[in-house]
């Protein structure tokens, strides 16, 4: 795995850093999203119909952080965020950057069945 995989002109590192912040204490944003994406396993789901949803408590006054319903990793972003959560290049850059090339998406594994 080389660093070139993390480089994208379309999505500079600062942008990817901001996107990572959207995976944390994101309860408010998730609840108004119609779809969510896990940036570790690639699972897409509707937070309004998906259940049960598991939340991680954060220190007040932060909102809670959503865990992926499939893999349990707290790396989910909702469609109500300003980020292109279903754009393949964006997803690839995020997962490569955040997990150092070690994720189901990086490995090219299919999204696990619920
Ligand atoms: Zn997942």
Of the pLDDT bands very low, low, confident and very high (cuts 50, 70, 90), residue 1 is very low
Domain-located, residue 20: yes
Domain interval for residue 89: 10-99
Peptide bond into 61 cis (omega under 30): yes
Domain assignment of residue 15, yes or no: yes
- Do the domain assignments include residue 62? yes
CB 81 within 8 A of CB 75: no
Give the C-alpha separation, 75 to 43, whole Å.
11
Neighbouring residues of the ion ligand 1, judged by CB less than 5 Å? 38, 40-41, 43, 68, 70-71
Residue 102's alpha-carbon distances to 18, 29, 60, 109, in angstroms, are: 20, 27, 32, 11
Q: Is the pTM of this model over 0.85?
A: yes
Ligand 1 midpoint to CA 68 (Å)? 5
Distance between CA atoms of 11 and 2, rounded to whole angstroms? 17
Within a domain: 112: no
What's the number of domains the chain is made of? 1
pLDDT tens-place string over residues 5-58:
556 789 999 999 999 999 999 999 999 999 999 999 999 999 999 999 999 999
């Amino acid at each position: 795995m080389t660093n070139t995989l993390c480089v994208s002109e379309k999505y500079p590192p600062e942008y990817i850093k901001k996107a990572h912040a959207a995976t944390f204490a994101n309860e408010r944003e998730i609840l108004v999203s119609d779809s969510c994406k896990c940036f570790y396993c690639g699972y897409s789901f509707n937070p309004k119909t998906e259940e049960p949803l598991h939340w991680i408590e954060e220190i007040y006054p932060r909102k809670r952080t959503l865990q992926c319903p499939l893999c349990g990793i707290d790396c989910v972003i909702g469609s109500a965020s300003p980020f292109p959560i279903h754009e393949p290049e964006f997803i690839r850059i995020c997962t490569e950057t955040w997990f150092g090339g070690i994720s189901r998406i990086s490995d090219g594994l299919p999204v696990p069945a619920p």
